Amino acid sequence: MSDMLRGARQFLSRLKPLRVPDAPSRDFRDLWPGDPARGARLLRGELDVAGTARPFTYWDQRGGPLHWRAAAHSFAWLRDLRTLGTDAARVFARDFVDDWLTRGAGEALAAEPEIAGARISAILGHWDFLAATADEAFRKRVMQRLATDARALVAALPAEAAHRGALVALKAAIAASIAFEDEAWINRALKLLPQELERQFHPDGGHVERGAAAQLAALQDLIEIRNLLNGVGLDAPPVLATAIDRAGLALRLFRHGDGALALFNATRDEPASVVDLVLTHGQARGRAPLLLEETGFQRLLAARTLVIADCGAPPPSRAAAPSGLPRGADRSAHAGTLSFEMSVGRDRLIVNCGASPAAPGEWRDALRSTAAHSTLILADTNSAELREDGLGRRPERVEVERYEANGAQWLEATHDGWRRTHGVVHRRRLYLAEGGDDLRGEDMLEPPGATTQPFAIRFHLHPGVTASLQEEEGGVLMKLPGGQGWRFRARGAAIALEDSVFVATGEPRRTQQIVLTAEPGTENVQWAISRIGTPAPSEEG
């Protein structure tokens, strides 16, 4: 939709008289649990967003990172206060909303479709918690703002964002149309739903933002839309059920044996119980797929050993909104192409460092960098250029081939993220033996001799892993929390054990990383991760 047409629709919508009832027409129920610890922290004056907590008592302050401010305006914190469940939490929520109506609602960021949509859904989902025992004046103010936001939101559909935010806006439009019993609104939203689902999800069920966190959240959106429609006896389009089925299976690909999600593209650890709850509501049946071909992820599984690898190109960019809010599906993308994670049973071994999307830019981008992922980095240069609203230069061509024979599995993948800067392509080969006790890899830059720059290959270890360097043997011994021992060996590069950080829940945790440093001119590096007692790789690799 052109900006002119969108503006005309919004202008005309404001000419229509706005009917504001005393309360939503029906009860809405938020399906997902909050975090009482975050709720208690908010009562103490700190708002915690994705592990970043900042002082935030009332709306007279507007500083802080964009992602953190957006979350504040989205009212997702209502879920945490409700889970806390105290009278103090209810009173605080009401005071916080009242102060927002007075001093925070005028900020341009609050009117962005994704943020307004999230706020509409949050208020409706927690109306009984928020409005119970509240005076009539407060309820009227909240309902008036809900109606104003909903009218603007519906008029602006389809949302310009190419990421999950557009789905959040559409979900809120459906919820508002039910709450205000507006037939025109629901008809418009349902008309746009099929095309938005096609835009949001690849045919394999993977979400366009290419991260497990976005996959989980988008599946929650789909489930909520289905329940909203079913709750008022409306027939959901068949494509919605199909999207839920595919998205649920795709989410399973990202799960390790302990139920945690692989840390790609702004993903943090979600409680396994929450992921289980979402999959249960989604009625997702079947085993995790071995690959998401269009989304670009691969899963190697042998016995109890699991490898999850990012073998896809980053999502496309789009110009940011005037408020600075990103519009491209790459808004949370990391420079981690061809990185992988590895777990054995319920123990994670190799990981990426995680994410802190609401942190100040320097720390947030450090975790987005190639060096924070278990992959190769050339000349300390990221494989994709990190920008405030997404990515600049990036891998444009990512190719992968997969082979299987007698239970053993091979992956061979390449990306061209350094072609423009250094004239080379990174090729990674992975081999997982049929017994799951031997993972071998080879990393190289092609064509040979095209660059004289040094490169490093990093393997970040989960904090639960105990590691020690064997200098005489040129390897690293690793002990999993369950007691099982594994050995790391390499050829073609110097091996070292260095400090690392794991940012997946709460405060950053210290951990270690294995670093292979290759001298300029090195053509390839071979490495192996083998369970203790497994023969070392042969000279032929």
Judge whether residue 513 has pLDDT over 80: yes
Is residue 163 within 8 Å of residue 155, measured between CB atoms?
no
In DSSP terms, which residues pair with 461 in a beta bridge?
350
Tokens of 44: 């103490």
Rounded Cα–Cα distance for residues 1 and 22 (Å): 34
Q: Residues 268-318: pLDDT tens digits?
A: 999 999 999 999 999 988 899 999 999 999 999 999 999 999 999 999 999
Taking CA 518 as the corner, what is the angle to CA 514 and CA 522, rounded to the nearest 5 degrees?
145
Q: Residues 167-178: pLDDT tens digits?
A: 999 999 999 999
Question: How far, CA to CA in Å, does 93 sit from each of 43, 100, 132, 134, 235?
Answer: 9, 10, 11, 11, 35
Q: Residues 222-271: pLDDT tens digits?
A: 999 999 999 999 988 999 999 999 999 999 999 999 999 999 999 999 99
Of the candidates 311, 184, 206, which has an alpha carbon nearest to the alpha carbon of residue 251? 206
Is residue 500 within 8 Å of residue 512, measured between CB atoms?
yes
3-state helix, strand, coil split of the chain in percent (to 5) is: 35, 25, 40
DSSP-assigned letter for residue 50: T
**Helix 183-200 × helix 212-231 angle, to 10°:** 150
Domains of the chain: 201-295 (no CATH), 297-315+328-531 (2.70.98.70)
Q: Which phi and psi angles does 430 have, rounded to 5°?
A: -125, 140
The answer, as to whether pTM is greater than 0.85, is: yes
Q: What is the mean pLDDT of residues 1-27?
A: 64
Question: How far, CA to CA in Å, does 283 sit from each of 144, 214, 246, 346?
Answer: 37, 19, 11, 24
Q: Residues 430-457: pLDDT tens digits?
A: 999 999 999 999 999 999 888 889 999 9
Rounded Cα–Cα distance for residues 367 and 352 (Å): 9
Judge whether residue 7 has pLDDT over 90: no
State residue 127's pLDDT score. 96
Tokens of 232: 């008022």
Cα 452 to chain center, whole Å? 36
Rounded Cα–Cα distance for residues 333 and 211 (Å): 8
Q: What is the mean pLDDT of residues 184-200?
A: 96
